[in-house]
Amino acid sequence: MAAPMMRRYRAWLRAGKVSFANEPVFGDGKRPVSTSVLCWNSKGITTKENRDVSWAAVVGLEIHAQISSNSKLFSGSQVQFAAPPNSLVSFLDVSLPGTLPVLNRRCVEAAVSTGLALNCTINKKSLFDRKHYFYADLPAGYQITQHRIPIAVNGCLQYFMQAGKRPNEIVSKTVRIKQIQLEQDSGKSLHDDFRNQTLVDLNRAGIGLMELVMEPDMCCGEEAAAAVRELQLILQALGSSQANMAEGQLRVDANVSVHHPGQLYGVRTEVKNINSARFLAKAIDYEIHRQIEELENGGTILNETRAFDYKLGRTVPMRDKEGKQDYRFMPEPNLPPLVLYDAKSLPAHINDQQVINIDWIRETLPDLPSVKRAKFVERYGLQTQHIFVLQNEDGLMDFFERVVNATEMNPQKVIGWVINNFISYLKLYNITVKESPVTPVLLAELLDLIASRKISSSAAKQVLEEMWKKEGKSPALIVKEKKLNLILDWNELEGICQTVMRDHQKEVAEIKSGNLKVLNSIIGHVQRTTRGRSDPVTVKQILEKLLS
């Protein structure tokens, strides 16, 4: 059912039945406040005659980001991905009687820096609360969070997305950040269906999280995915979270509802624990369409939690949320209020290690992704879409800059090799920039061979392919072994061109009759004959002379 549904959705896009439009903002608190919506024209998808109804979709996100810290939020247990089960657990993590929480300074600083980067108001006084619920991977029976007064509120995130078919059509959008709060992560339940049992790993229990709550200002999966990607870049730039979704360091819950423009919001569903931006876009778009189709067919939307099945490309029910769960929030008795200071309120003669200074953290913030993009455009003369490609691959922007600093080639030519060739090999071998056997120094050496006219671009591609075989050979050595040096002798190239022309008389005749486009085909034949050792510009000059 999912595949036909998604095919119809794409067909509506092509037919123009799905469109972006602005919706009025209402101030009464009862009407939709989203300023951009995804409108479905239901005409043509319903069996009822003479019906023309548009739909508005509303999307809000709740994001849990694991804080980059050596220890957990309230205990000294180490934080390490993929450690043996239950090997990083303290007495506090298993909630033994008599243990008390001690707040991790690093986690607080990470939350403050994130709040500042997202234009939030930092609360100088925030409180911790207990959120009670009972599950096997939560030994205490409650989670320590910030329900009443979180550490940061009222921010915004500016993100960018492609507006049209052309890659340079980039538009800016903004989503409001309701709040950022510190809280503990739970343990992990491992379900063994073969033995019909569930095992609990508490290594994750107590790890520090930042929960970022985004207002429902988005309208489709593409917008949500773009916002999450920008947030990832910001968190990684700050160092507050590695934000690796594949390792569960960034988990996204999407709240989705649809309604007729100008009417009350519809019943929302929550799609839980989505672990990639691509799946997030697919899950939201599917859920929007599912809800519209359900309502068009006379059904109702349940207030429920759903999961995204990436194999089927659809969301599936998890549990009903109609009966609101009572978490019995109460103040955390073992933790005092978290008090922060700025330059004005900082007490005199106080040890800096005893307090957290908001202004000091503000001054030490690194360049954020938007600033880096502007600097790269100005410094290297790159196009905007190139910058987004560099930023979307972890470590690629630094890789590019190191290549540019080590080579004589123009940065505008270097970007082509990085985006078109280097990234292709990363995807082919399914590895990260850090795992690449081709270092910035090696790629710069290869590009210098092109710039100094020692090899051609086509020969350089052959060299690059050899460099990915992890044999540790330098580009110069590969060129020498494969005999890929550029043929510079004009007479030798002219003889090769004459031979190629004799072997392709039909194409030569077409050129002489006025079809000059065929000349590129002859150049290609010469390139293949020389195994990429000829310069296409020089070859073209020789062919034009011979054909005149």
Digit-coded pLDDT (tens) for 196-254: 899 999 999 999 999 999 999 999 999 999 999 999 999 999 999 999 998 999 999 99
For residue 239, give both structure tokens: 């160092």
pLDDT of residue 483: 84
Residue 1, in any domain of the structure: no
Packing angle of the helix pair 505-512, 490-503 (nearest 10 deg): 100
pLDDT band (50, 70, 90) for residue 388: confident
Report residue 323's pLDDT band, with 50, 70 and 90 as the boundaries: low
Answer whether residue 417 shows pLDDT above 70: yes
Q: What is the mean pLDDT of residues 72-91?
A: 96
Reading the block at residue 518, the tokens are 């065929």
Proportion of the chain above pLDDT 90, given as a percent:
58
Q: Tokens 């423009």 — which residue?
A: 261
User: What local confidence, expressed as pLDDT, does residue 325 receive?
Assistant: 74
Sign of the Cα torsion 210, 213, 217, 219 reads positive
Weakest mean pLDDT among 87-91, 155-159, 449-453, 469-473: 469-473
109 and 155 co-located in one domain: yes
Both 153 and 126 in a single domain? yes
pLDDT tens for residues 254-310?
A: 999 999 999 999 999 999 989 889 899 999 999 999 999 999 999 999 999 999 998
Query: What are 534's two structure tokens?
Result: 């000829």
Best-predicted range by mean pLDDT (230-239, 374-383, 425-434, 513-522):
230-239
In a domain, 10, yes or no: no
Whether 349 maps to a domain, the answer reads no
Same domain, 494 and 478: no
Greatest mean pLDDT among 10-14, 38-42, 175-179, 493-497: 175-179
Phi first, then psi, for residue 65 (nearest 5°) are: -110, 125
- pLDDT for the residue numbered 322: 57
The pLDDT value recorded for residue 68 is 97
- Lowest average pLDDT, out of 107-121, 149-163, 197-211, 319-333, goes to 319-333
- Name the 3-class secondary structure at 234: helix
462 and 531 in one domain? no
- Whether residue 99 lies inside any domain: the answer is yes
Residue 6 binned pLDDT confidence (cut-offs 50, 70, 90):
very low
Please report the pLDDT score of residue 180 as a whole number: 98
Q: Are residues 126 and 252 in the same domain?
A: yes
469/336 Cα distance (integer angstroms)? 58
| Amino acid 469: pLDDT | 87
Q: What is the share, in percent, of the chain residues with pLDDT greater than 70?
A: 89
Asked if the model's pLDDT at residue 89 lies above 50, the reply is yes
Confidence of residue 37 (pLDDT cuts 50, 70, 90): very low
Mean pLDDT confidence for 440-456: 92
30 occurs within a structural domain: no
Residue 114 has pLDDT above 70, yes or no: yes
Write down which residue in 283, 306, 331 finishes a domain: 331
Residues 535 and 475 grouped into a single domain: no
Question: What is the average pLDDT across 108-135?
Answer: 97
Asked if 257 and 32 touch (Cβ cutoff 8 Å), the reply is no
**Residue 228, in any domain of the structure:** yes
For 507-527, what is the mean pLDDT?
86
Q: Are residues 401 and 282 in the same domain?
A: no
Cα 115 to Cα 67: distance, rounded to the nearest angstrom: 13
Pick the last residue of a domain from 312, 331, 350. Answer: 331
Does residue 434 contact residue 409 with C-beta atoms inside 8 Å?
no
Looking at the fold, whether 399 and 430 belong to one and the same domain comes out as yes
Q: Does 405 lie in the same domain as 301? A: no
**Are residues 529 and 458 located together in one domain of the fold?**
no
Residue 38's pLDDT is 38
Position 40 scores a pLDDT of 37
Per 3-state DSSP, the chain is made up of helix, strand and coil in percentages (nearest 5) of 40, 20, 40
How would residue 125 be classed by pLDDT, with cut points 50, 70 and 90? very high
Residue 26 lies in a domain: no
Q: Is residue 346 part of a domain?
A: no
Alpha helices in 1-145, H assignment, sequence order:
2-15, 105-117
Q: Do 183 and 234 have their domain in common?
A: yes
Q: What are the start-end ranges of the H helices in 57-128?
A: 105-117
Statement: residue 437 has pLDDT above 50: yes
The whole-number pLDDT of residue 470 equals 77
Q: Which residues sit opposite 63 in a β-bridge?
A: 212, 252
Range name among 128-137, 221-230, 530-539 with the lowest pLDDT average: 530-539
Residue whose C-alpha is closest to residue 329's, from 152, 186, 151, 142 = 142
Average pLDDT over residues 177-199: 93
Q: What confidence category does residue 47 fall into, taking pLDDT thresholds of 50, 70 and 90?
A: very low
Identify the domain boundary among 482, 516, 537: 482
Q: How sure is the predictor about 24, in pLDDT bands with cuts at 50, 70 and 90? A: very low
| CATH number, domain containing residue 528 | 1.10.10
Residue 4 has pLDDT above 80, yes or no: no
Q: How far is the C-alpha of 23 from the C-alpha of 20, rounded, in Å?
A: 10
- Tally of domains in the chain: 3
Using alpha carbons only, give the angle 260, 262, 266 rounded to the nearest 5 degrees: 45
pLDDT of residue 16: 37
- Two structure tokens written together for 472: 């540790």
Domain extent at residue 432? 388-482
Backbone angles phi, psi at 21, to 5 degrees: -145, 160
Tell me, what's the pLDDT at 356? 94
Q: Say yes or no: 475 and 503 in one domain.
A: no
